[in-house]
Structure 1
Protein backbone atom coordinates (compact mmCIF):
# COMPACT_ATOMS: atom_id res chain seq x y z
CA UNK A 1 0.00 0.00 0.00
CA UNK A 2 1.37 3.39 -0.97
CA UNK A 3 0.30 6.76 0.38
CA UNK A 4 1.63 10.19 1.32
CA UNK A 5 2.28 11.95 4.62
CA UNK A 6 2.53 15.75 4.74
CA UNK A 7 5.68 16.65 6.69
CA UNK A 8 5.38 20.43 6.26
CA UNK A 9 3.26 22.76 4.17
CA UNK A 10 3.71 21.83 0.52
CA UNK A 11 5.95 18.80 1.15
CA UNK A 12 4.47 15.30 0.97
CA UNK A 13 6.55 12.20 1.66
CA UNK A 14 5.76 8.93 -0.07
CA UNK A 15 5.28 5.86 2.13
CA UNK A 16 5.35 2.22 1.01
CA UNK A 17 3.58 0.18 3.70
CA UNK A 18 3.41 -3.58 3.17
CA UNK A 19 1.47 -5.89 5.50
CA UNK A 20 0.12 -3.26 7.93
CA UNK A 21 -1.23 -6.09 10.09
CA UNK A 22 2.25 -7.50 10.72
CA UNK A 23 3.19 -8.13 14.33
CA UNK A 24 6.68 -6.60 14.04
CA UNK A 25 7.52 -3.41 12.20
CA UNK A 26 10.68 -2.33 10.39
CA UNK A 27 10.96 1.21 9.01
CA UNK A 28 13.56 1.35 6.23
CA UNK A 29 15.42 4.55 5.32
CA UNK A 30 17.10 4.39 1.91
CA UNK A 31 20.50 5.71 0.87
CA UNK A 32 21.82 8.28 -1.61
CA UNK A 33 21.02 8.56 -4.51
CA UNK A 34 18.24 5.94 -4.42
CA UNK A 35 14.73 5.56 -2.98
CA UNK A 36 12.57 3.05 -1.11
CA UNK A 37 12.69 0.56 -3.99
CA UNK A 38 16.26 -0.39 -3.07
CA UNK A 39 14.74 -2.64 -0.38
CA UNK A 40 12.78 -4.74 -2.88
CA UNK A 41 14.60 -7.91 -1.83
CA UNK A 42 13.58 -7.40 1.79
CA UNK A 43 9.97 -6.61 0.93
CA UNK A 44 9.83 -9.79 -1.15
CA UNK A 45 10.51 -11.89 1.95
CA UNK A 46 9.82 -10.24 5.29
CA UNK A 47 6.08 -9.42 4.99
CA UNK A 48 5.28 -13.08 4.31
CA UNK A 49 7.04 -13.86 7.60
CA UNK A 50 4.76 -11.59 9.59
CA UNK A 51 6.63 -8.29 9.36
CA UNK A 52 5.12 -4.93 8.62
CA UNK A 53 7.66 -3.35 6.28
CA UNK A 54 7.54 0.40 5.78
CA UNK A 55 9.86 2.46 3.61
CA UNK A 56 9.87 6.15 2.82
CA UNK A 57 11.24 8.22 -0.02
CA UNK A 58 13.14 11.20 1.38
CA UNK A 59 12.00 14.61 0.24
CA UNK A 60 13.53 15.16 -3.19
CA UNK A 61 13.68 11.45 -4.02
CA UNK A 62 11.48 8.78 -5.56
CA UNK A 63 7.77 9.60 -5.40
CA UNK A 64 8.07 12.29 -2.73
CA UNK A 65 7.76 16.01 -3.35
CA UNK A 66 10.96 17.73 -4.39
CA UNK A 67 11.31 21.10 -2.68
CA UNK A 68 14.39 23.26 -3.17
CA UNK A 69 15.22 23.32 0.56
CA UNK A 70 15.33 21.01 3.55
CA UNK A 71 18.21 18.62 2.86
CA UNK A 72 20.16 18.84 6.12
CA UNK A 73 20.22 16.03 8.68
CA UNK A 74 17.98 17.86 11.16
CA UNK A 75 15.19 18.48 8.63
CA UNK A 76 15.40 14.94 7.25
CA UNK A 77 15.20 13.56 10.81
CA UNK A 78 12.22 15.84 11.40
CA UNK A 79 10.52 14.33 8.34
CA UNK A 80 11.00 10.85 9.79
CA UNK A 81 9.56 11.99 13.11
CA UNK A 82 6.46 13.37 11.42
CA UNK A 83 5.96 10.08 9.58
CA UNK A 84 6.41 8.05 12.78
CA UNK A 85 3.86 10.19 14.61
CA UNK A 86 1.42 10.11 11.70
CA UNK A 87 1.59 6.31 11.48
CA UNK A 88 1.54 5.99 15.30
CA UNK A 89 4.53 3.65 15.22
CA UNK A 90 5.75 2.17 18.49
CA UNK A 91 8.28 -0.49 19.43
CA UNK A 92 9.65 -0.73 15.89
CA UNK A 93 13.04 -1.32 14.30
CA UNK A 94 14.60 1.59 12.40
CA UNK A 95 16.91 0.44 9.59
CA UNK A 96 18.95 3.00 7.65
CA UNK A 97 21.34 2.45 4.76
CA UNK A 98 24.30 4.72 3.94
CA UNK A 99 23.10 8.35 4.20
CA UNK A 100 19.85 6.88 5.51
CA UNK A 101 21.95 5.44 8.32
CA UNK A 102 23.25 8.91 9.17
CA UNK A 103 19.71 10.31 9.07
CA UNK A 104 18.58 7.49 11.37
CA UNK A 105 21.41 8.29 13.78
CA UNK A 106 20.41 11.96 13.81
CA UNK A 107 16.79 10.94 14.43
CA UNK A 108 17.83 8.83 17.41
CA UNK A 109 19.79 11.71 18.94
CA UNK A 110 17.35 14.50 18.07
CA UNK A 111 14.23 12.67 19.26
CA UNK A 112 15.71 10.44 21.96
CA UNK A 113 14.88 7.41 19.84
CA UNK A 114 11.13 8.07 20.02
CA UNK A 115 9.27 4.84 19.21
CA UNK A 116 12.41 2.90 18.26
CA UNK A 117 13.20 -0.31 20.13
CA UNK A 118 16.10 -1.44 17.90
CA UNK A 119 18.36 0.22 15.34
CA UNK A 120 20.01 -1.29 12.26
CA UNK A 121 22.77 0.62 10.49
CA UNK A 122 23.62 -0.69 7.02
CA UNK A 123 26.91 0.62 5.62
CA UNK A 124 26.00 3.86 7.37
CA UNK A 125 27.61 7.20 6.51
CA UNK A 126 29.05 7.44 10.01
CA UNK A 127 30.75 8.89 11.94
CA UNK A 128 32.70 11.25 9.67
CA UNK A 129 31.90 13.40 6.64
CA UNK A 130 32.63 12.71 2.99
CA UNK A 131 35.88 14.43 2.06
CA UNK A 132 35.54 17.83 0.41
CA UNK A 133 37.36 16.67 -2.71
CA UNK A 134 35.15 13.63 -3.27
CA UNK A 135 31.92 15.42 -2.41
CA UNK A 136 32.70 18.35 -4.71
CA UNK A 137 33.44 15.92 -7.54
CA UNK A 138 30.02 14.28 -7.12
CA UNK A 139 28.30 17.68 -6.89
CA UNK A 140 29.97 18.94 -10.06
CA UNK A 141 29.12 15.76 -11.95
CA UNK A 142 25.53 15.84 -10.68
CA UNK A 143 25.01 19.38 -11.90
CA UNK A 144 26.66 18.80 -15.28
CA UNK A 145 26.06 15.15 -16.28
CA UNK A 146 23.97 13.37 -13.67
CA UNK A 147 23.43 10.19 -15.75
CA UNK A 148 27.22 9.76 -16.06
CA UNK A 149 27.61 10.34 -12.31
CA UNK A 150 25.01 7.68 -11.54
CA UNK A 151 26.74 5.15 -13.78
CA UNK A 152 29.95 5.82 -11.88
CA UNK A 153 28.23 5.31 -8.54
CA UNK A 154 26.91 1.93 -9.70
CA UNK A 155 30.45 0.91 -10.61
CA UNK A 156 31.70 1.37 -7.03
CA UNK A 157 28.49 0.42 -5.19
CA UNK A 158 28.69 -3.35 -5.62
CA UNK A 159 31.47 -5.84 -4.90
CA UNK A 160 29.87 -8.84 -6.59
CA UNK A 161 29.03 -9.02 -10.27
CA UNK A 162 25.64 -7.55 -11.15
CA UNK A 163 23.80 -7.99 -14.43
CA UNK A 164 23.35 -5.16 -16.90
CA UNK A 165 19.57 -5.09 -16.27
CA UNK A 166 20.15 -4.69 -12.52
CA UNK A 167 22.65 -1.91 -13.19
CA UNK A 168 20.03 -0.22 -15.37
CA UNK A 169 17.46 -0.60 -12.57
CA UNK A 170 19.87 1.02 -10.09
CA UNK A 171 20.46 3.82 -12.60
CA UNK A 172 16.73 4.46 -12.98
CA UNK A 173 16.26 4.67 -9.20
CA UNK A 174 18.85 7.44 -9.11
CA UNK A 175 17.19 9.33 -11.95
CA UNK A 176 13.91 9.44 -10.01
CA UNK A 177 15.46 12.00 -7.66
CA UNK A 178 15.70 15.67 -8.57
CA UNK A 179 19.10 16.92 -9.62
CA UNK A 180 19.08 19.68 -7.01
CA UNK A 181 18.23 17.28 -4.18
CA UNK A 182 20.91 14.83 -5.35
CA UNK A 183 23.51 17.61 -5.12
CA UNK A 184 22.10 18.99 -1.87
CA UNK A 185 22.45 15.70 -0.02
CA UNK A 186 26.06 15.43 -1.14
CA UNK A 187 26.68 18.90 0.31
CA UNK A 188 25.21 17.68 3.59
CA UNK A 189 27.47 14.63 3.52
CA UNK A 190 30.40 17.00 3.03
CA UNK A 191 29.47 19.64 5.59
CA UNK A 192 27.83 17.65 8.39
CA UNK A 193 28.57 14.50 10.37
CA UNK A 194 26.91 12.44 13.12
CA UNK A 195 29.93 11.86 15.36
CA UNK A 196 28.43 13.64 18.37
CA UNK A 197 25.11 11.81 17.99
CA UNK A 198 26.45 8.32 18.50
CA UNK A 199 26.76 8.35 22.29
CA UNK A 200 23.07 9.30 22.52
CA UNK A 201 21.92 6.00 21.04
CA UNK A 202 20.78 3.73 23.84
CA UNK A 203 18.82 0.98 22.09
CA UNK A 204 20.33 -2.33 20.87
CA UNK A 205 22.07 -1.57 17.58
CA UNK A 206 23.09 -3.91 14.78
CA UNK A 207 25.78 -2.61 12.42
CA UNK A 208 25.94 -4.41 9.06
CA UNK A 209 28.78 -3.46 6.75
CA UNK A 210 30.38 -4.91 3.64
CA UNK A 211 34.11 -5.34 4.10
CA UNK A 212 34.69 -4.38 0.46
CA UNK A 213 32.71 -1.14 0.70
CA UNK A 214 34.35 1.55 -1.46
CA UNK A 215 31.76 4.19 -0.56
CA UNK A 216 31.94 4.03 3.24
CA UNK A 217 35.07 2.09 4.24
CA UNK A 218 34.70 -0.76 6.71
CA UNK A 219 36.91 1.08 9.22
CA UNK A 220 34.05 3.57 9.63
CA UNK A 221 31.80 0.77 10.82
CA UNK A 222 34.42 -0.29 13.35
CA UNK A 223 34.62 3.25 14.71
CA UNK A 224 30.84 3.57 14.84
CA UNK A 225 30.69 0.26 16.71
CA UNK A 226 33.08 1.63 19.35
CA UNK A 227 31.04 4.80 19.81
CA UNK A 228 27.55 3.25 20.15
CA UNK A 229 26.89 1.41 23.40
CA UNK A 230 25.14 -1.95 23.09
CA UNK A 231 26.06 -2.25 19.41
CA UNK A 232 27.28 -5.28 17.50
CA UNK A 233 29.12 -5.23 14.19
CA UNK A 234 28.56 -8.00 11.65
CA UNK A 235 30.97 -7.89 8.69
CA UNK A 236 29.61 -9.07 5.34
CA UNK A 237 32.49 -10.83 3.64
CA UNK A 238 31.16 -10.77 0.09
CA UNK A 239 29.58 -7.31 -0.08
CA UNK A 240 30.49 -3.80 -1.04
CA UNK A 241 28.04 -1.00 -0.23
CA UNK A 242 24.94 -3.15 -0.84
CA UNK A 243 24.72 -6.17 1.51
CA UNK A 244 20.93 -5.90 1.34
CA UNK A 245 21.30 -7.14 -2.23
CA UNK A 246 24.70 -8.81 -2.54
CA UNK A 247 24.14 -11.12 0.45
CA UNK A 248 20.39 -10.70 0.72
CA UNK A 249 19.60 -14.12 2.21
CA UNK A 250 22.11 -13.62 5.02
CA UNK A 251 20.98 -10.03 5.42
CA UNK A 252 17.30 -10.95 5.73
CA UNK A 253 18.00 -13.78 8.15
CA UNK A 254 20.08 -11.47 10.32
CA UNK A 255 17.26 -8.93 10.42
CA UNK A 256 14.85 -11.67 11.50
CA UNK A 257 17.20 -12.88 14.23
CA UNK A 258 17.90 -9.35 15.51
CA UNK A 259 14.29 -8.24 15.58
CA UNK A 260 12.89 -11.54 16.85
Structure 2
Protein backbone atom coordinates (compact mmCIF):
# COMPACT_ATOMS: atom_id res chain seq x y z
CA UNK A 1 0.00 0.00 0.00
CA UNK A 2 1.18 3.52 -0.71
CA UNK A 3 -0.03 6.97 0.28
CA UNK A 4 0.41 10.39 -1.25
CA UNK A 5 0.21 13.03 1.48
CA UNK A 6 -0.14 16.72 0.69
CA UNK A 7 2.46 18.47 2.83
CA UNK A 8 2.36 21.87 1.15
CA UNK A 9 0.30 23.55 -1.55
CA UNK A 10 0.60 21.29 -4.62
CA UNK A 11 3.37 19.27 -2.94
CA UNK A 12 2.71 15.61 -2.21
CA UNK A 13 5.10 13.13 -0.62
CA UNK A 14 4.92 9.39 -1.02
CA UNK A 15 4.82 6.94 1.91
CA UNK A 16 5.17 3.18 1.47
CA UNK A 17 3.01 1.34 4.03
CA UNK A 18 3.47 -2.38 4.68
CA UNK A 19 2.25 -4.55 7.56
CA UNK A 20 0.31 -3.87 10.75
CA UNK A 21 1.19 -3.00 14.31
CA UNK A 22 3.35 -0.32 15.89
CA UNK A 23 4.27 2.17 13.13
CA UNK A 24 7.99 2.42 12.31
CA UNK A 25 8.54 5.51 10.12
CA UNK A 26 11.80 5.53 8.14
CA UNK A 27 13.48 8.68 6.82
CA UNK A 28 16.10 7.98 4.15
CA UNK A 29 19.42 9.67 3.46
CA UNK A 30 20.79 11.83 0.69
CA UNK A 31 20.17 11.36 -2.22
CA UNK A 32 18.17 8.12 -2.30
CA UNK A 33 14.61 7.15 -1.27
CA UNK A 34 12.63 4.86 1.02
CA UNK A 35 13.77 1.96 -1.17
CA UNK A 36 17.11 1.95 0.66
CA UNK A 37 15.24 0.29 3.56
CA UNK A 38 14.05 -2.76 1.62
CA UNK A 39 15.82 -5.15 4.01
CA UNK A 40 13.85 -3.64 6.88
CA UNK A 41 10.64 -3.57 4.86
CA UNK A 42 10.77 -7.33 4.31
CA UNK A 43 11.67 -8.10 7.92
CA UNK A 44 9.76 -5.86 10.36
CA UNK A 45 6.21 -6.81 9.27
CA UNK A 46 7.04 -10.47 10.01
CA UNK A 47 7.44 -9.47 13.66
CA UNK A 48 4.18 -7.54 13.94
CA UNK A 49 5.34 -4.04 13.02
CA UNK A 50 4.10 -1.60 10.42
CA UNK A 51 6.82 -0.40 8.05
CA UNK A 52 6.38 3.14 6.72
CA UNK A 53 8.96 4.48 4.29
CA UNK A 54 8.65 8.19 3.52
CA UNK A 55 10.18 9.64 0.39
CA UNK A 56 11.32 13.10 1.40
CA UNK A 57 10.27 15.88 -0.97
CA UNK A 58 12.44 15.81 -4.07
CA UNK A 59 13.22 12.09 -3.78
CA UNK A 60 11.73 8.80 -4.93
CA UNK A 61 8.05 9.09 -5.79
CA UNK A 62 7.53 12.43 -4.01
CA UNK A 63 7.03 15.79 -5.69
CA UNK A 64 10.08 17.99 -6.18
CA UNK A 65 9.28 21.68 -5.68
CA UNK A 66 12.08 24.18 -6.18
CA UNK A 67 12.23 25.12 -2.47
CA UNK A 68 11.87 23.45 0.89
CA UNK A 69 14.99 21.34 1.39
CA UNK A 70 16.00 22.87 4.73
CA UNK A 71 15.57 20.77 7.85
CA UNK A 72 12.69 22.88 9.23
CA UNK A 73 10.57 22.31 6.13
CA UNK A 74 11.44 18.64 5.94
CA UNK A 75 10.53 18.24 9.63
CA UNK A 76 7.20 19.94 8.96
CA UNK A 77 6.60 17.45 6.15
CA UNK A 78 7.19 14.60 8.61
CA UNK A 79 4.62 16.13 10.97
CA UNK A 80 2.06 16.33 8.15
CA UNK A 81 2.60 12.64 7.36
CA UNK A 82 2.29 11.57 10.99
CA UNK A 83 -0.92 13.54 11.46
CA UNK A 84 -2.51 12.76 8.10
CA UNK A 85 -2.00 9.02 8.63
CA UNK A 86 -2.99 9.43 12.30
CA UNK A 87 0.06 7.51 13.47
CA UNK A 88 0.26 6.86 17.21
CA UNK A 89 3.27 5.81 19.33
CA UNK A 90 5.59 6.12 16.35
CA UNK A 91 9.13 4.77 16.27
CA UNK A 92 11.05 7.23 14.09
CA UNK A 93 14.11 6.00 12.19
CA UNK A 94 16.49 8.42 10.46
CA UNK A 95 19.43 7.42 8.28
CA UNK A 96 22.21 9.92 7.44
CA UNK A 97 20.43 13.19 6.47
CA UNK A 98 17.20 11.64 7.75
CA UNK A 99 18.78 11.59 11.24
CA UNK A 100 19.04 15.36 11.79
CA UNK A 101 15.65 15.82 10.12
CA UNK A 102 14.14 13.37 12.65
CA UNK A 103 15.85 15.23 15.50
CA UNK A 104 14.65 18.61 14.16
CA UNK A 105 11.12 17.22 14.04
CA UNK A 106 11.30 16.36 17.74
CA UNK A 107 12.77 19.79 18.49
CA UNK A 108 10.21 21.79 16.50
CA UNK A 109 7.08 19.75 17.25
CA UNK A 110 6.88 19.22 20.98
CA UNK A 111 3.44 17.60 20.70
CA UNK A 112 4.77 14.81 18.50
CA UNK A 113 3.67 11.19 18.73
CA UNK A 114 7.12 9.61 18.79
CA UNK A 115 7.87 7.01 21.47
CA UNK A 116 11.38 5.98 20.35
CA UNK A 117 14.09 7.17 17.96
CA UNK A 118 16.63 5.20 15.94
CA UNK A 119 19.58 6.98 14.31
CA UNK A 120 21.44 5.07 11.60
CA UNK A 121 24.75 6.57 10.47
CA UNK A 122 23.18 9.92 11.26
CA UNK A 123 24.57 13.19 9.87
CA UNK A 124 24.00 14.68 13.31
CA UNK A 125 24.45 16.99 14.99
CA UNK A 126 26.57 18.50 12.17
CA UNK A 127 27.64 17.14 8.81
CA UNK A 128 30.47 19.62 8.27
CA UNK A 129 33.23 20.97 10.46
CA UNK A 130 32.79 24.03 12.70
CA UNK A 131 34.58 25.67 15.60
CA UNK A 132 34.71 23.12 18.44
CA UNK A 133 33.48 20.45 15.98
CA UNK A 134 36.45 19.13 14.00
CA UNK A 135 34.65 16.13 12.51
CA UNK A 136 33.06 15.47 9.13
CA UNK A 137 33.76 17.12 5.81
CA UNK A 138 35.06 20.63 5.51
CA UNK A 139 32.39 22.98 4.20
CA UNK A 140 34.53 23.53 1.11
CA UNK A 141 34.36 19.78 0.49
CA UNK A 142 30.58 20.02 0.15
CA UNK A 143 31.05 22.99 -2.19
CA UNK A 144 33.10 20.63 -4.38
CA UNK A 145 30.29 18.05 -4.25
CA UNK A 146 27.77 20.69 -5.33
CA UNK A 147 30.01 21.82 -8.20
CA UNK A 148 30.39 18.22 -9.35
CA UNK A 149 26.64 17.65 -9.13
CA UNK A 150 26.17 20.59 -11.49
CA UNK A 151 28.74 19.31 -13.98
CA UNK A 152 28.44 15.49 -13.81
CA UNK A 153 25.78 14.23 -11.40
CA UNK A 154 26.06 10.52 -12.38
CA UNK A 155 29.85 10.60 -11.97
CA UNK A 156 29.65 12.40 -8.64
CA UNK A 157 27.06 9.96 -7.28
CA UNK A 158 29.12 6.99 -8.44
CA UNK A 159 32.14 8.37 -6.57
CA UNK A 160 29.97 9.03 -3.52
CA UNK A 161 28.76 5.42 -3.63
CA UNK A 162 32.38 4.31 -3.57
CA UNK A 163 32.88 6.14 -0.25
CA UNK A 164 29.66 4.73 1.16
CA UNK A 165 30.77 1.18 1.91
CA UNK A 166 33.61 -0.37 3.88
CA UNK A 167 33.01 -3.80 2.40
CA UNK A 168 33.29 -4.64 -1.28
CA UNK A 169 29.77 -4.68 -2.68
CA UNK A 170 28.68 -6.69 -5.75
CA UNK A 171 28.49 -4.84 -9.07
CA UNK A 172 24.75 -5.43 -9.41
CA UNK A 173 24.16 -3.95 -5.98
CA UNK A 174 26.35 -0.91 -6.76
CA UNK A 175 24.38 -0.31 -9.97
CA UNK A 176 21.09 -0.54 -8.07
CA UNK A 177 22.32 1.84 -5.38
CA UNK A 178 23.55 4.37 -7.95
CA UNK A 179 20.15 4.24 -9.65
CA UNK A 180 18.44 5.13 -6.36
CA UNK A 181 20.43 8.37 -6.29
CA UNK A 182 19.83 9.12 -9.96
CA UNK A 183 16.05 8.93 -9.49
CA UNK A 184 16.21 11.98 -7.20
CA UNK A 185 15.48 15.43 -8.55
CA UNK A 186 18.75 17.15 -9.52
CA UNK A 187 17.80 20.44 -7.83
CA UNK A 188 16.66 18.62 -4.66
CA UNK A 189 20.01 16.81 -4.60
CA UNK A 190 21.86 20.13 -4.81
CA UNK A 191 19.65 22.03 -2.35
CA UNK A 192 19.87 19.20 0.20
CA UNK A 193 23.65 19.25 -0.10
CA UNK A 194 23.48 22.95 0.81
CA UNK A 195 21.39 22.04 3.87
CA UNK A 196 23.86 19.35 4.88
CA UNK A 197 26.65 21.91 4.58
CA UNK A 198 24.96 24.74 6.46
CA UNK A 199 22.53 23.30 9.02
CA UNK A 200 23.62 23.12 12.68
CA UNK A 201 21.64 20.70 14.84
CA UNK A 202 23.62 20.88 18.06
CA UNK A 203 20.90 22.74 19.97
CA UNK A 204 18.30 20.21 18.81
CA UNK A 205 19.80 17.25 20.67
CA UNK A 206 18.52 18.28 24.09
CA UNK A 207 14.96 18.22 22.70
CA UNK A 208 15.07 14.46 22.22
CA UNK A 209 13.25 13.10 25.26
CA UNK A 210 12.62 9.55 24.07
CA UNK A 211 14.81 6.43 24.25
CA UNK A 212 17.25 6.64 21.36
CA UNK A 213 19.26 3.89 19.66
CA UNK A 214 22.33 5.05 17.71
CA UNK A 215 23.71 2.53 15.20
CA UNK A 216 26.86 3.66 13.40
CA UNK A 217 29.61 2.10 11.29
CA UNK A 218 33.12 2.30 12.74
CA UNK A 219 34.56 2.86 9.25
CA UNK A 220 32.08 5.55 8.15
CA UNK A 221 33.78 7.99 5.75
CA UNK A 222 30.64 10.09 5.17
CA UNK A 223 29.51 10.64 8.78
CA UNK A 224 32.51 9.70 10.94
CA UNK A 225 31.92 7.52 13.99
CA UNK A 226 33.05 10.49 16.15
CA UNK A 227 29.62 12.00 15.52
CA UNK A 228 28.19 9.45 17.95
CA UNK A 229 29.99 10.93 20.96
CA UNK A 230 28.18 14.24 20.41
CA UNK A 231 24.83 12.52 19.93
CA UNK A 232 25.32 10.34 23.00
CA UNK A 233 26.33 13.32 25.13
CA UNK A 234 23.51 15.57 23.89
CA UNK A 235 20.60 13.10 23.90
CA UNK A 236 19.57 12.17 27.46
CA UNK A 237 18.50 8.55 26.80
CA UNK A 238 20.92 7.48 24.08
CA UNK A 239 22.61 4.11 23.52
CA UNK A 240 25.37 3.70 20.92
CA UNK A 241 25.98 0.40 19.15
CA UNK A 242 29.11 0.38 16.94
CA UNK A 243 29.18 -1.68 13.75
CA UNK A 244 32.70 -3.01 13.40
CA UNK A 245 32.44 -4.17 9.78
CA UNK A 246 30.55 -1.27 8.21
CA UNK A 247 31.08 2.10 6.68
CA UNK A 248 28.18 4.49 6.07
CA UNK A 249 26.12 1.73 4.49
CA UNK A 250 25.52 -0.33 7.62
CA UNK A 251 21.92 -1.08 6.62
CA UNK A 252 23.35 -3.10 3.73
CA UNK A 253 26.76 -4.20 5.02
CA UNK A 254 25.45 -5.63 8.31
CA UNK A 255 21.73 -5.72 7.63
CA UNK A 256 21.05 -8.71 9.89
CA UNK A 257 22.65 -6.94 12.84
CA UNK A 258 20.78 -3.71 12.06
CA UNK A 259 17.48 -5.59 12.03
CA UNK A 260 18.36 -7.49 15.21
CA UNK A 261 19.30 -4.32 17.11
CA UNK A 262 16.15 -2.50 15.97
CA UNK A 263 13.89 -5.42 16.90
CA UNK A 264 15.49 -5.74 20.34
CA UNK A 265 15.06 -2.00 20.87
CA UNK A 266 11.40 -2.17 19.85
CA UNK A 267 10.74 -4.87 22.45
CA UNK A 268 12.13 -2.88 25.37
2:226 match: secondary structure: helix
The corresponding residue for 2:188 is: 181
The answer to which of 124-133 and 210-219 deviates more is 124-133
Deviation of 1:53 (Å): 0.2
The corresponding residue for 1:53 is: 51
| Residue number among 201, 207, 231 corresponding to 2:214 in the alignment | 207
The answer to which of 6-15 and 106-115 deviates more is 106-115
The answer to which of 131-140 and 27-36 deviates more is 131-140
The answer to which of 110-119 and 6-15 deviates more is 110-119
Alignment of 1:216-235 (within 5 A): 216-235=223-242
Query: Is 1:196–2:203 an aligned residue pair?
Result: yes
1:54 match: secondary structure: strand
Over aligned residue pairs, what C-alpha RMSD do you find? 0.9
Gap regions ≥5 residues in structure 1: none
The corresponding residue for 2:92 is: 94
Deviation of 1:155 (Å): 0.2
Q: For 1:56-103, what per-residue CA distance to the aligned partner results, in whole angstroms no more than 9, with x for missing partners?
A: 111011110010000100000000000000010111100000000010
Query: Is 1:140–2:142 an aligned residue pair?
Result: no
What stretches of structure 1 move > 4 A for 4+ residues in a row? Answer: none
Alignment of 1:102-181 (within 5 A): 102-112=100-110, 114-130=112-128, 131-181=138-188
TM-score (norm: length of structure 1): 0.98
2-structure distance, mates of 1:38, 1:185? 17
Would you say how many aligned residue pairs link Structure 1 and Structure 2? 258
The corresponding residue for 1:5 is: 5
1-structure distance, mates of 2:44, 2:222? 27
Kept in 2, the 8 Å contact 1:17–1:54? The answer is: yes
The corresponding residue for 1:63 is: 61
Gap regions ≥5 residues in structure 2: 129-137
Deviation of 1:129 (Å): 3.5
Kept in 2, the 8 Å contact 1:13–1:58? The answer is: yes
Deviation of 1:3 (Å): 2.1
2:158 match: secondary structure: helix
2-structure distance, mates of 1:150, 1:113? 37
